[in-house]
Structure formats: C-alpha cells, structure tokens
C-alpha cells in the first residue's frame, strides 16, 4: 500500500507534467524552455539558439533586401512588409527570451515549489483550475497560429504564388529573396531554401505562441496563489482552512508571507515579459493594420483563398493579443481583491494589535499587480481596445495613401 509521501510525490509529478507540458512542447525545441539534462546534453539549448538565430537571418535579411531593391509594386510591398515585421518582431522576442532564460527557470522553480508545498485539496483544486485556464488559452492560441501558418506555407505559397517570367516558371518561396541570389531556383537549392523558410516559420510561430503561453502560465499561477490567499483571509476568524492549533497572529503572518511570495514571483515575471510585451505591443499595431489591408485587397481582387488565409492570421493575432491583455486584466483584478476582502471580513472582532496587521495587506492590495509593456503601458482589456483602434486609424491612413 503506497504511503502518503508516495501519493504526494505521484500527485506532484502528475500535476507538474500537466501544467508545463504545452509550454515544454512549444518552447523546448527552440531552446528556450529550461530542460534538466546531464552531461554534454546540457549544452543542447545553446546549439538550438544558434541554429534558430541563423535561420532567422537566412530568411529575413534577403527578404528585406528584396523589398528595398527589387519590389516596386506598393501593394505587394505592404503584404510582404507585414510578414517581415512579424518575422523581425519574433526574432527580437526570441533573443529577449534567450537572454531571460535564467529568469524563466527561476519562475518555473517558484511554481514547482508552490505545487510541492500544497497540502489542502481545496488549494490544489484552485491551482488546477487556473492551470486549466492557462492550458486552454495556450492551446487555442497555438492552434490558430499553427493552422494559419500551415495553410500559408504549404498551400497558399506553392499553389497560388507561382508565376512565369520570360516563359520560365518561377517557383515561389515563403520569404522572397533578393534578385542577386538568383541560384535559388535550381534544384536542390530551391528545396533546401524552401525547407529553411518553413523551419523559420515554425520558429516564428513557436516564439509567438510560446510568448503568450509563458505569460498565461505565470500570470494564471499568480492568480491561483492570490485566490488561495483570499480564501485564507475569508477563513481568518473561523480557522476552517487552517490547522486548528494556529493562532490569529500566526494565520496573519502566514498570509503576509504568502502574499510577499506572490509579489516577488510577479516581479520576476515582469522582468521576463516586459520587453517581450513591448515588442509585441508595437509590432501588433503594424501587423494587424497590414493584415486588415491585405484582407481588403484580396476582397477587392476576389481572391477567396488569400482572403481566408489572411483573415485566419488576423483572427489569430487578435486572439493572441487578447490573451495577453486578458491575463493582465485578470491579474490586476485578482490582486486588488485582496485589499477588498481584508476590509470585508469581520476584522472588528480581532484584537487591535491583530487589526493593525491587516493595514499593510490593505495598503499593498491597493496597488494591484500588473504586467506592463516595457513599463510604459499596462496590459489590460483597455489596452487591447486601444491597439485595435490604433490599427484601424493606421489602416484608414494607409488606404487614403495607397488606394
């Protein structure tokens, strides 16, 4: 018969696997997710980071040269420009995540420690609920992103962008190449370049999905810890969710300790995500605007397949940005709820000394925890609305300028 310790270990390993598996799958292959490997394998992430950066450069630099020197059609320039902005933004985010990899590992260790220390079934149920929210948001966002990418890379590019120049068939590539590199049409060079572009696309979509997945993972975990603290506050007087031997001042001390731990965790999360969110915030405005413009152009040209693909990209971008802003809003709402609960409990039944101890919790709770874009813009649903409004304003200006 298994002991209580064995059951706890088994439950811990199962929960950790369920919580981290999606992020591990998305970020593990590109070297961002910390993996404990002994021996020479512990340097595998360095090789993955080097390969990914080389792939980014191999695909994006010739594409930028093509737009600058070769392409004269303004509409095609804008369509390719949206792809290029998306790619360079993903490259910058990838470099930031690679630099912040030790802090990502620190956040993961925070989470593992919280899961190891959980003892009450009600606490585990709360943590599993928020882990499921994170998993569902990541799964839906990644599904949209990868589906749009597969359609664009494997169907739209090979079958709809092929054309003839001087009676010679020009086979298309995902990222157009500068004309000076004319050897790419020769087999097997074309197949190798196309495969490298597809690999670059996979990395781009993995970085984008992984960024939102990390934000959802860390923010929802913090929300779960805050909800546990709130439940402790609500039972502060009755002591139903506490050890019966604990006294009021011990309960308050435990609440403050847990609250400080959550605040420290979110500070590290903010350090990991603030530059990534800033890049995402700026690039989303441009990318969403250009995708809207591409949809309008394909609508006018009756290009139904192109319209469907760009619309899927647009929905994917908007949904992923919504995820980022939603979890920022959720974190602010949950963290500000602590101060409210402190006031709403029957604090007047406590001794004056114990009551004074709640003042600090209320004071900290009046400054909700936030995730910001570079410390300049707080991520919230209001921010999401502002991004959409700004992209529409740029779209109106673009249509006036080009059409």
In a domain, 165, yes or no: no
**Residues in contact with 307: Cβ distance below 8 Å, sequence separation at least 6, in sequence order:** 295, 298, 299
Is 39's pLDDT higher than 70?
no
In a domain, 167, yes or no: no
Measuring CA to CA, which residue among 139, 295, 158 is closest to residue 209?
139
Domain count of the fold of the chain? 1
In a domain, 363, yes or no: yes
In a domain, 228, yes or no: yes
Beta bridge partners of 378: 372
Q: What's the pLDDT band for 302 if we cut at 50, 70, 90? A: confident
What is the mean predicted confidence (pLDDT) over 289-309? 84
Q: What is the pLDDT of residue 218?
A: 92
Average pLDDT taken over every residue of the chain:
82
Contacts 24+ apart (CB under 8 A), 241-249: 241/120, 241/122, 248/350, 248/351, 248/354, 249/353, 249/354, 249/357
In a domain, 59, yes or no: no
In a domain, 174, yes or no: no
In a domain, 71, yes or no: no
Q: Which domain holds residue 155?
A: 4-43+100-160+204-402
Is 166's pLDDT higher than 60?
no
Structure confidence by residue, pLDDT tens digits, 212-269: 899 999 999 999 998 888 888 887 776 665 555 567 778 888 888 888 888 899 889 9
| CA-CA-CA-CA torsion sign (167, 168, 173, 175) | negative
Exposure string (b/e) for 19-31, b if CB count within 10 Å is 16 or more? bbebbbebbbebb
Structure confidence by residue, pLDDT tens digits, 117-145: 887 888 889 899 999 999 998 898 888 88
Q: What is the pLDDT of residue 96?
A: 93
Is 163's pLDDT higher than 60?
no
In a domain, 18, yes or no: yes
């Amino acid at each position: 018969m298994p002991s209580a310790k064995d059951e706890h270990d088994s439950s811990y390993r199962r929960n950790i696997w369920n919580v981290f598996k999606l992020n591990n799958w998305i970020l593990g292959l590109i070297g961002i997710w910390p993996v404990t490997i002994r021996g020479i394998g512990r340097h595998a992430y360095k090789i993955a980071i080097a390969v990914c950066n080389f792939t980014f450069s191999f695909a994006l630099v010739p594409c930028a040269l093509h737009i600058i020197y070769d392409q004269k059609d303004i509409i095609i320039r804008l369509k390719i420009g949206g792809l290029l902005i998306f790619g360079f933004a993903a490259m910058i985010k990838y470099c930031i995540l690679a630099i912040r990899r030790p802090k990502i590992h620190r956040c993961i260790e925070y989470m593992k420690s919280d899961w190891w220390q959980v003892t009450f079934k009600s606490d585990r149920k709360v943590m599993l609920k928020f882990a499921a929210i994170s998993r569902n948001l990541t799964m839906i966002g990644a599904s949209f992103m990868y589906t749009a990418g597969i359609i664009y890379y494997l169907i739209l590019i090979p079958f709809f962008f092929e054309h003839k120049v001087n009676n010679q068939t020009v086979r298309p590539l995902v990222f157009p190449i500068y004309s000076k590199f004319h050897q790419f049409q020769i087999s097997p060079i074309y197949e190798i370049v196309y495969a490298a572009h597809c690999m670059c696309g996979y990395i781009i979509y993995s970085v984008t999905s992984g960024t939102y997945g990390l934000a959802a993972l860390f923010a929802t975990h913090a929300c779960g810890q805050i909800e546990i603290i709130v439940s402790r506050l609500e039972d502060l007087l009755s002591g139903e969710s506490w050890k019966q031997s604990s006294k009021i001042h011990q309960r308050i001390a435990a609440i403050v300790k847990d609250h400080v731990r959550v605040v420290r965790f979110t500070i590290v999360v903010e350090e990991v995500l603030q530059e990534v969110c800033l890049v995402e915030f700026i690039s989303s405005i441009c990318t969403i605007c250009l995708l809207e413009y591409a949809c309008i152009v394909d609508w006018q040209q009756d290009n139904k397949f192109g319209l469907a693909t760009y619309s899927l990209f647009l929905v994917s971008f908007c949904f992923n940005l919504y995820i980022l802003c939603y979890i920022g809003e959720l974190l602010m709402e949950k963290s500000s709820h602590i101060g409210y609960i402190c006031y709403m409990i029957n604090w007047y039944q406590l001794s004056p000394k114990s009551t004074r101890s709640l003042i600090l919790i209320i004071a900290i709770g009046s400054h909700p925890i936030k995730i910001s874009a570079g410390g300049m813009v707080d991520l919230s649903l209001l921010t999401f609305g502002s991004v959409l409004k700004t992209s529409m304003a740029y779209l109106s200006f673009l249509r006036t300028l080009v059409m």
